[in-house]
Amino acid sequence: MYIVVGLGNPGLEYEKTRHNVGYMSATFIADDNGIALRNEERKAIVGKGVISGAKSMIALPITYMNLSGDAVASLVNFYKIDVTSELIIIYDDIDLEPGKLRIRKKGSAGTHNGMRDIVKKLGTNEFIRVRVGVGHKPDGWNLADFVLSKFNKDEVPTMEMAVRDVNDAVKLIISDGADAAMNKYN
């Protein structure tokens, strides 16, 4: 079974912020694949269904971003999945231009506290991740203020396309493997 995790923060005040692009993407994937996100399980809102012919779960951690590893590790351990091939984490990246995707099979968490917590709680950095560019922090901005800001109206169409691209990338990862998705989207 695949577990597709969209990182973000729960609550209306965080909807449509840069830091919640993982939530936005995972919710779109769930909708596109007919998966209802309505159950709370292991510190996440989850839905189960089929993506690209494979049994899959979509998860939105409700632990807040900096403790995302609690939900991810709990789901991974309970379902006993292979983290190197069956776990896909979707999250925001301030080092990429808005809408740009970068897919990797392993790597550092960089400056992303949610990813740092996941790596720490899993004890490995070898899992598939889909990074979604949200733009660079403007000079003079506090990083937290920037990632918790909403997209400006000029960025919205680009980010809507990025969310659709993430959906297609995740389907490709599940059907043909991470390398195929990396070749197409990186």
Tens-digit pLDDT string for the chain (186 aa): 999 999 999 999 999 999 999 999 999 999 999 999 999 999 999 999 999 999 999 999 999 999 999 999 999 999 999 999 999 999 999 999 999 999 999 988 777 899 999 999 999 999 999 999 999 888 988 888 898 899 999 999 999 999 999 999 999 999 999 999 999 998
Report the sign of the C-alpha dihedral through residues 124, 113, 156, 47, in that order: positive
Task: At 161, list the tokens.
Answer: 């396309």
Considering the four listed CATH numbers 3.40.50.1470, 2.60.120.260, 3.30.300.30, 3.90.1150.10, the one that applies to the domain covering 2-185 is 3.40.50.1470
Print burial letters for 40-74: b (CB count within 10 Å at least 16), e (below 16). Answer: eebbbbbbbeebeeeebbbbbbbbebebbbbbbbb
Which entry of 19, 121, 129, 131 is annotated as an active-site residue?
A: 19
For 99, phi then psi, to 5°, come to: 90, -15
Residue type, 153: K
The candidate with the shortest Cα–Cα distance to 66, out of 14, 2, 3, is 14
Residue 19 annotated in active site: yes
User: Which residues contact residue 18 at a Cβ distance below 8 angstroms, ignoring those fewer than 6 apart?
Assistant: 92, 94, 134, 135, 146, 147, 148, 149, 150, 151
For 31, phi then psi, to 5°, come to: -60, -45
The candidate with the shortest Cα–Cα distance to 42, out of 77, 66, 12, is 77
